[in-house]
Amino acid sequence: MISESIQRVFVKPDDTATINCPKCQLVKTVAVGKFRTTRHTITARCTCSHSFPVSLDFRKCYRKKTALPGRYKIRAEVNDKHWKKTKLTGAYTMQAPASGNGHMLVTNISCGGLQFTTPGDHAIEVGQQAQISFTLDDRKQTNIMKHITIQSVAGNIIGCRFADDEPLEQGLRFYLFP
């Protein structure tokens, strides 16, 4: 018996997926919407009677694993939501929201955002705005500079989405094509 790895299949917006039988190479497009809320790994059975595992990926955008070094710069927000009116007397110091910059490693990227890790301590918080820059490992060594919003922080793993008002560069769109 041949040990098979799980076939990863991306689900299209119309809830269909194209599955390829690893034994007979038959390709078939099937409706998989009923699995969206239940399970994402199924066992497919081909007409040649071969069964094999399939992992359904329901993401809006394809996510590509990477290992791209880059830099981030957190923008300090200067707006009134960080200041409170008080009736305190005495001397006190007002501090601006955290800002900073550092090195990062982009671990995965999609058309909507990316995930990166930092090598050490940081002051990054959910909701902060930042600018990132990194170079793709494509043939042209495309430089990417994007404005992002931090979506999640889990230790040194930072999840973010691209700013809505910025279009995706052609080089990045081509890089993400599966």
Q: Which domains does the chain have, with CATH numbers?
A: 7-57 (no CATH), 64-76+98-176 (2.40.10.220)
Residue 69 · residue 134 · CB < 8 Å: yes
In whole angstroms, give the CA distance from residue 133 to residue 70.
6
Q: Two tokens at 4?
A: 């098979």
In whole angstroms, give the CA distance from residue 69 to residue 53.
34
* Predicted confidence (pLDDT) per residue in 16-69, tens digit: 999 999 999 999 999 998 888 877 889 999 999 999 999 988 877 778 899 999
Q: Two tokens at 157?
A: 């793993």
Highest mean pLDDT among 35-44, 59-68, 118-127, 147-156: 147-156
pLDDT at position 90: 65
Higher-scoring residue by pLDDT: 117, 36: 117
Q: Which residues contact 1 (CB under 8 A, 6 or more apart)?
A: none
Higher-scoring residue by pLDDT: 92, 122: 122
Q: Which residues contact 66 (CB under 8 A, 6 or more apart)?
A: 106, 107, 108, 109, 137
Q: Residues 32-61, buried b or exposed e (16+ Cβ, 10 A)?
A: beebeeeeeebebebeeeeebebebeeeee
pLDDT at position 80: 46
